[in-house]
Structure 1
Amino acid sequence: MKSFIFDVLKNLNDKGENLSTLTFILPSKRAGVFLRQELSTVVNKTIFSPTIISIEEFVEELARLKSITNTELLFEFYNSYLALTPKKEQEPFESFSKWAQILLQDFNEIDRYLIPQDKIFDYLGAIKELDHWSLEDNKTDVVKNYLKFWDKLKLYYKHYTKALISKKTGYQGLIYREAVENINDYCLTNTQKHIFLGFNALNTAEETIIQTLLKSELAEVFWDIDEVFIENPIHDAGLFTRSHKRNWKYFEKNPFNWITGHYSESKNIEILGVPKNIGQAKTIGSILKIIETKNPKLKSTAVVLGDENLLIPVLNSIPKTIDKLNITMGFPLSSIPLASLFEQLFAIHKKASDKYYYKDIISLLSHQFIRPLFTNEETNNASILIEIIKKNNLVYLSLADLKTYNNGNSEILELLFSNWKNNANQSINNCFEIINKIKEHLVLKKEENLISLEYLYRFNKLFNELFRLNESYKHINDISALFSIYKELLSSETLDFQGEPLEGLQVMGMLESRVLDFETVIISSVNEGVLPSGKSNNSFIPFDVKIENVLPTYKEKDAVYTYHFYRLLQRAKNVYILYNTEADVLTGGEKSRFINQLELEGIHDFNHKIMTPQVPTFNVELKEIIKTEAIIDQLKEIAKQGFSPSSLTNYTRNPLDFYYQKLLGIKDLEDVEETVAANTMGTVVHDSLEALYLPFIGIELKVEDIKSMKPKIDSNITKFFQKAYADGDMTKGKNLIVFEIAKRYVLNFLNLEIEDLKAGNTIKIIALESRTEIPLNIPELGFEVKLKGTVDRVDEYNGITRIIDYKTGKVDSGQVAIVDWEDMNSDYKKFSKSFQILAYAYMMNAIKPLDFPIEAGIISFKNLSAGFLKFTKREQQRGGNKETLITQETLDFYFEELKKLIIEICNPDVNFIEKEV
């Protein structure tokens, strides 16, 4: 395949041009690398290399101004803003930067398109005067300030551009305008021929410069446009080139170089609809595998990313056999882990507080670059500190609190949580210190952390730039403004890849493909909102004013991408176009109009198919833990110490949970209870009731006894919350609501007792929170087995003994009823409550034989109106008898089921098998 660059060089060489004396001007620097490569194939003798520069470099040379970064332009603009704005009306830098960025873009457009400044700014001011919303003669301050802003635009512009020119710097548009001012002088003093190649959308300044050079016979232009696009008056790929051909006087008498016919040549085009972005990345990897079998070196093959966020997924999907690769776009600095560290630091310090939220603290202490700094010999103090925060429910902590709980490393804590003082310079210095501390730690590990050291170097450079800007301009006064500028700088910084620019696979963005040709092209994310990018109006200049002044709108921006898209197809022989089938308004909509246009043109045949991801099928096997001799020994030890009713019901729910918790000792992850958890509130209610009823054990209760408990509710709830919730704050927010609910639960329970007593019932407390442990006679096992548990309350109600279990959650009568004894160990949800309360009844009877019949049941604080929910044995048939009294026979039936369950748990031949959820 002969590229456009090769054709241009061949044409010039055939015409006898001395290539060494020419100046080649290209849309981008990258194209220059390929031009030098093609030069070696066209010229068969040794020559001096011609001058090869990008259009930006050429214009800077003409204007004798240097471009500076967007961030520095913003600082310069703020100088002009302060100079022209009364002190009492001045905005802080952070809020100024939000609208100033947009205004600078407008200044840039106005200058690039050589719009008379006075005219457009006066026009904008007049429009805003006409369409402001106030109909009153006496305008409000809001309206006055609004109109004053538009009147000042011209003053801002003139002061700002004058200041920049005096420093020999400028933004792109200003440089272009100055270049146009100087082009005639340049033509008078220069004799070198300029070759412009591969341009498409030119702004007015570029058009003026090129046409002046053409008129002075100091230039030649080579367009790269296909006849299909330029001859079709509505095809957007030829929108700009048709305009140049029609409007430039030079082409009235001179040939138009070139119109080609490559697009109509036979091509293999595949249009692939792929669900989601990761699906596209994986599909690109699959396509590359196929291409590699036919073209092992992947010569003249490019992956063009419509959405550059796909870079990392695509790199991870490229086959490992591809060893030569060139990536033209850099890896965003904002995507590396160190960026998140400084973002967290700025985020917590811009809040004016000396206390920090525990999640922010844990996030910082857990960060991969900070955690190692707390390692002391074999101990990691960061982990210890995190555990203390969780254990003590510390929601907000000061630096003093952190130092109290931390054993050593106070210097790092000081650096992270103190000394920032909402001061920008101090914050930058702290960031330098943190980078140095991390560097010192990494250097000890030498080559293991070369990439991390590179990260540190780049961030050190970034903070040096922040320091320089603030020293020069002194506009960053607080951490909030510093954070804003930090993010602005970070967004434009990248880590550049090293690769083979002329060999192997090329991975690039759409704009980087300018002037370049490839035989095989894979284009991703060809969706509306991505290619083309769609309507966006990040400008203060209204749409109709842009039209009137021939400024670019979204239509022209779409036409730019249309040209690049079709240009990639022009000389290519194999084209793979991928789009996301799952429309997403945030990351792109339906398939692009470019695909629909390809289908309607009818020039090429193509294969259009929807790809379905290859989802591996997994045979989900339930986990099984084989009972080894060691496990059996552990089970014997657990049996000797005693099974609790909750651990046994845990086994019925899922044997694997029993194995993890009882044998491996794995507990649920502890986290800070920012708001009181249900189990914590349950503990508090249990403990409070025990404390209130303790003085009345063995005594028949009277109404006065219960009433005497009420004044003690508040103090008891407070005391037990302090015990269970450690240093957690109960005085505000959701915790205060939970605190009040706990009080209400206890009060409602006492009122229920009072109603019972007033109704003539008798209640006598026998035991409270009785910790019980009994041996079990299971001869089949041949070793000691115990059952243990804590019974919340045992009382006599009208002479009948009741075993009571408190539940702060909701329980209804159906959960304490059983039909068939054999079902008890099979359905956790239905029978776990019955199993537990019968276990308590069995244990109490084993310790001291009870006077049968007895009752056992639950009092549910969320269903208190139902009263005491008694265990019930129902007959099989609907509407059959219901027996609520527990006899020795009931306990004997229960013991048989209990024995079966424990034998199964301890049986070496019955493994722990996971239950299906």
Structure 2
Amino acid sequence: MEETRDGPPADLGTVIFAGLFGLTGGERQVIRSFWDSGRATVVLSGSPDDWPVLKDLISYLKATVEYKANPGAAPPSIHLHAGQDTHAEVLEAYRILEEGARKKTAIVLPVADPLFPLLNFVVDRTDLRCNISLGHPVDRTALFDLIRHILNARMERRPDGQYPAEEYLAVVLHPFVKNLDPESGLRGLLLHIERALSGETGQSVIADNPLISLAQVEAEAASWAQPPGKTVVPEALSEVHRLLFRNFEGVSTISEVATGLEEALEAIILKTSLHSYVLSGTIFESFLGSLASLKSALFSSDRLSADPALNTRALCDITLDYLGTGTLPFDTHPVEELEVIGVLESRNLSFDRVIILDVNEGVLPGPREVNPVVPLGVFETLGIPPPEFTEAIYRYNFYRLVGSAREVHLVYRGSDDRPRSRYIEELLWKEEKAQGRLDVIPVSQTVLSVNLKRDRQPPVIEKTDAAIRALKTNRLSPSAVDTYVRCPLLYYFTRLMGLEERRTFSGDIDATDRGTIIHSILHETFRPFLGFPLAKDMEDEVRKSLDNALKSHFKNSPASGEYYLFQRIAAYKLDSFLRRHLKTLSEPVIIAYLEERFRADVKIKDDSVTLFGRIDRVDRSTASGRHTVIDYKTGTARQYPSRIMQKTDFGDIKSIHDHVPSFQLPIYMHIFSTQESVPLHSMDAGLFLLGSNSEETFFKSRDELENKRLLDAYTQGIQTVLSHMFDPNEPFSAFDTSRCMDCPARNLCHV
């Protein structure tokens, strides 16, 4: 710009400026200097009447316009395509290429997200010569993901040296890390550490700890019983800790952070099979170059804050922001038969066929940026392009690209949350006005055929003598009986073989842990009142006991937002339950039992089976002496339908499977009655549904005879289930397959 301030260089002749749109202030001055000297020809695409930006440029140059039309050019043939996701859009692009004639084609990507799926599903499957003029964002690579977790772990490190277990695992279980030095046996050790943290290995000092230190992990590794025939080099884990954690604990400058990352990347290059990763050489070269640039920055050796914590966070944030802004370039060539290109890269290029993906609002055009701090008009006053200027550039390039092609395919994602682009609506409306009717451009729906039919049925496992013996020695709880009713195969895999879903570490509290915690708190709440009357006027005493139980249970809980939120919700829910429970007590009751185990034998044919159960609570009425069996449920689901006798044949196992949600309460009543010699006709039972703060009684009628028939029906059902369970002629097989997709054992059944 300095060279043209006093006019264009004398050694330059007439300069042709073509395809201009959306120029910066400096670019406009350069063109103006050539134009004023009469040594410039400006060629624009599009009418200034349609594009205010072009009209403004012409006004700025004080030029007159000479219009030239292309009388032989026919309007493009426009086709619309809808797919449900990125892969459907990519496959539609492949179909268009395969079914159409060979011609110069551009696949235009407004965003780079579909690039790798496009390379896999289109570029690799077609024989068209291809050129890729679009870079892939480095923040979408696996290496950036590892760097992000390394620096996040450093930022989240506590002053006592502990790391969040989730971030620790995210680092060490990254593919680049767990495949370091395959001969050292490191991979197996890291998987053991993951299982130990999740509590899957049994007793471990690090089990379920949300925060861990490197020393604790190394101690766990030292105590690991290694698999036979495999030797783990103990130094391998220490080296991982040094490279990815300890090297960053004392960093105070950008240069030190970059040096630590360089050493980590070099170790990965030397000790892993990088050649098996796509674009690995280009990716690592790009990151190492960026780290070298960071080390040469003017502030690279400076502390950014006197506060160590703020300094560390600033270092890591700056490093991540800088490393994540780049793109991975592909080797480009002159325009080939197939060009994969971005919207801005398509400037001044024309193609016979154009396929544009992701033509949705929020993508094309992108979301409009609104700065609440900057008032309207400030951008224009300062000479800065306003936010709508970017949208104008994309709009212009879109319509120029579409208008210059012979065949245009606009592919969008057809979903309610992502409407198709306004550009499609404008093209559609223009064509509808021209033809005088609606729906002039049909939409081709991309349908991916998915075969939901199972290739094979669940297995049938015979009840061998060994299986029968295992059944007889297996503890039969109400939940075990319910599992068998749901599916004998599920019972076989989980109860007899002891298989369970693989647990992974999570900082969240899973449903099982929540239930255990709530039961423990309720037990501690009512324990001071065990053996004493409980009445509605004792609300203050019981709520105080609840408060003490909550404090006792959560005093050593992890200092995490998840536990804090759970504690507040649990306190609110349990307090609401207690107030409602005491208010609805019609008469004082004595809490006779809390979390007590009971057992009883049940006769089946010529044998007997022992049922076990731990009952949450048993109350005894002070007036009538009637016992009530109570079970707490943290959910809201009711389990004892009111008209179940009309729908269920309790002598048929399939009917029971279809209609009986649970046998828990009748089994509890039976084993309590048997062990404590309490007549069944003087008992009640119910569920306390804490999720909805409601109760469900087992007996729905006030008619004692009707209640007896109901209990007799359930008793017959228990006999039916147990007889089927111990019948050697009834194999372990699924009653039906309607619930298989929600079953935790579906992978074991191969369905």
The answer to whether TM tops 0.5 is yes
1:486-521, CA deviations, whole angstroms, 9 ceiling, x for partnerless residues?
Answer: 344334422222365343201111222223222222
Q: Which moved more, 1:896-905 or 1:504-513?
A: 896-905
Identity between Structure 1 and Structure 2 (%): 18
Partner residue, 2:514: 678
Q: Are 2:249 and 1:420 equivalent residues in the alignment?
A: yes
Q: Are 2:488 and 1:661 equivalent residues in the alignment?
A: no
Q: Which runs of 5+ in 2 are unaligned?
A: 200-206, 223-233, 306-310, 743-751
Report the residue type matching 1:452 in the other structure. Answer: S
1:238-278, CA deviations, whole angstroms, 9 ceiling, x for partnerless residues?
Answer: 6467558x7249x9xxxx6xx54337622441141535662
The alpha-carbon distance between structure 1 residues 912 and 666, as it changes in their structure 2 partners (threshold 3 A), is: farther
1:296-333, CA deviations, whole angstroms, 9 ceiling, x for partnerless residues?
Answer: xx4x2212233444434443442613352111011111
Please report how far the alpha carbon of residue 637 of structure 1 lies from its aligned counterpart in structure 2 after TM superposition.
Answer: 2.0
Cα distance in 2 for partners of 1:887, 1:234 equals 80
Partner residue, 1:328: 133
Asked if structure 1 preserves the Cα contact closer than 8 Å seen for 2:521 and 2:546, the reply is no
Partner residue, 1:394: 209
Cα distance in 1 for partners of 2:674, 2:378 equals 93
Please report how far the alpha carbon of residue 423 of structure 1 lies from its aligned counterpart in structure 2 after TM superposition.
Answer: 1.8
Report the residue type matching 1:393 in the other structure. Answer: D
Partner residue, 2:275: 447
1:705-737, CA deviations, whole angstroms, 9 ceiling, x for partnerless residues?
Answer: xx9x99997999589959xx9975699834655
Report the residue type matching 2:141 in the other structure. Answer: I
Aligned with 1:438 (options 268, 291, 314): 268
Q: What CA RMSD, in Å, does the superposition of the two structures yield over aligned residues?
A: 5.4
Cα distance in 2 for partners of 1:855, 1:483 equals 65
Aligned residues: 694
Aligned with 2:477 (options 644, 666, 669): 644
SS at match of 2:323: helix
SS at match of 1:469: coil
The alpha-carbon distance between structure 1 residues 854 and 350, as it changes in their structure 2 partners (threshold 3 A), is: same
Partner residue, 1:64: none
SS at match of 2:442: strand
1:122-141, CA deviations, whole angstroms, 9 ceiling, x for partnerless residues?
Answer: xxxxxxxxxxxxxxxxxxxx
Asked if structure 1 preserves the Cα contact closer than 8 Å seen for 2:543 and 2:578, the reply is no
What does residue range 617-636 of structure 1 map to in structure 2 within 5 Å? 618-619=451-452, 624-629=457-462, 633-634=466-467
Partner residue, 1:41: none
Cα distance in 2 for partners of 1:840, 1:457 equals 67
Aligned with 1:285 (options 81, 94, 102): 94
Partner residue, 1:25: none
The alpha-carbon distance between structure 1 residues 233 and 356, as it changes in their structure 2 partners (threshold 3 A), is: same
Q: Are 2:727 and 1:897 equivalent residues in the alignment?
A: no
Q: Are 2:737 and 1:914 equivalent residues in the alignment?
A: yes
Cα distance in 2 for partners of 1:884, 1:632 equals 39
Partner residue, 2:173: 366
SS at match of 1:838: helix
Q: Which moved more, 1:352-361 or 1:503-512?
A: 352-361
Partner residue, 2:150: 345
What does residue range 678-697 of structure 1 map to in structure 2 within 5 Å? 678-684=514-520, 688=524
Q: Which moved more, 1:207-216 or 1:497-506?
A: 207-216
1:409-468, CA deviations, whole angstroms, 9 ceiling, x for partnerless residues?
Answer: 2343344444434623332222223223322321xx363347435433322221111111
What does residue range 5-84 of structure 1 map to in structure 2 within 5 Å? none
Asked if structure 2 preserves the Cα contact closer than 8 Å seen for 1:306 and 1:531, the reply is yes
The alpha-carbon distance between structure 1 residues 491 and 390, as it changes in their structure 2 partners (threshold 3 A), is: closer
Cα distance in 2 for partners of 1:201, 1:574 equals 27
The alpha-carbon distance between structure 1 residues 816 and 684, as it changes in their structure 2 partners (threshold 3 A), is: farther
The alpha-carbon distance between structure 1 residues 498 and 601, as it changes in their structure 2 partners (threshold 3 A), is: farther
Q: Are 2:69 and 1:261 equivalent residues in the alignment?
A: yes
Asked if structure 2 preserves the Cα contact closer than 8 Å seen for 1:526 and 1:577, the reply is yes
Aligned with 1:822 (options 649, 664, 668): 649
Partner residue, 1:304: 108
Q: Are 2:620 and 1:804 equivalent residues in the alignment?
A: no
Cα distance in 2 for partners of 1:546, 1:720 equals 59
What does residue range 215-614 of structure 1 map to in structure 2 within 5 Å? 221=41, 223=43, 225=45, 229-230=46-47, 233-234=49-50, 239=55, 243=59, 247-248=62-63, 260-262=68-70, 265-272=73-80, 274=82, 278=86, 279-291=88-100, 294-295=101-102, 298=103, 300-318=104-122, 320-350=125-155, 353-354=158-159, 355-373=162-180, 376-377=184-185, 380-391=188-199, 392-407=207-222, 409-418=237-246, 419-421=248-250, 423-424=252-253, 425-442=255-272, 445=273, 447-449=275-277, 451-470=279-298, 474=302, 476=304, 478-498=311-331, 500-526=333-359, 530-531=363-364, 544=377, 553=386, 560-569=393-402, 571-579=404-412, 591=424, 593=426, 596=429, 608-614=441-447
Cα distance in 1 for partners of 2:621, 2:368 equals 77
Partner residue, 1:180: 4
Please report how far the alpha carbon of residue 643 of structure 1 lies from its aligned counterpart in structure 2 after TM superposition.
Answer: 3.1
The alpha-carbon distance between structure 1 residues 904 and 305, as it changes in their structure 2 partners (threshold 3 A), is: farther
Report the residue type matching 1:822 in the other structure. Answer: D
Asked if structure 2 preserves the Cα contact closer than 8 Å seen for 1:415 and 1:430, the reply is yes
The alpha-carbon distance between structure 1 residues 265 and 802, as it changes in their structure 2 partners (threshold 3 A), is: same
Asked if structure 2 preserves the Cα contact closer than 8 Å seen for 1:646 and 1:836, the reply is yes
Cα distance in 1 for partners of 2:139, 2:567 equals 41
The alpha-carbon distance between structure 1 residues 810 and 546, as it changes in their structure 2 partners (threshold 3 A), is: closer
Aligned with 1:733 (options 549, 564, 567): 564
Q: Which moved more, 1:390-399 or 1:582-591?
A: 582-591
SS at match of 2:209: coil
SS at match of 1:380: helix
Cα distance in 2 for partners of 1:871, 1:550 equals 76
SS at match of 2:471: helix
Please report how far the alpha carbon of residue 684 of structure 1 lies from its aligned counterpart in structure 2 after TM superposition.
Answer: 2.0
Please report how far the alpha carbon of residue 191 of structure 1 lies from its aligned counterpart in structure 2 after TM superposition.
Answer: 6.0
Asked if structure 1 preserves the Cα contact closer than 8 Å seen for 2:304 and 2:315, the reply is yes
Asked if structure 2 preserves the Cα contact closer than 8 Å seen for 1:854 and 1:885, the reply is no
Cα distance in 1 for partners of 2:29, 2:711 equals 107
SS at match of 2:449: coil
Partner residue, 1:28: none
Report the residue type matching 2:259 in the other structure. Answer: N
Q: Which runs of 5+ in 1 are unaligned?
A: 1-175
Cα distance in 2 for partners of 1:862, 1:204 equals 67
Asked if structure 2 preserves the Cα contact closer than 8 Å seen for 1:198 and 1:224, the reply is yes
Partner residue, 1:37: none
1:69-128, CA deviations, whole angstroms, 9 ceiling, x for partnerless residues?
Answer: xxxxxxxxxxxxxxxxxxxxxxxxxxxxxxxxxxxxxxxxxxxxxxxxxxxxxxxxxxxx
Higher helix fraction (1 or 2): 1
If asked which structure has higher relative contact order (CA below 8 Å, sep 6+), I would say 2
Cα distance in 2 for partners of 1:545, 1:763 equals 73
1:753-796, CA deviations, whole angstroms, 9 ceiling, x for partnerless residues?
Answer: 9997xx6x88877x9723536474335xxx98654444557798
In our comparison, the structure showing a higher alpha carbon Rg is 1
Q: TM-score, normalised by structure 2?
A: 0.73
Cα distance in 2 for partners of 1:202, 1:864 equals 62
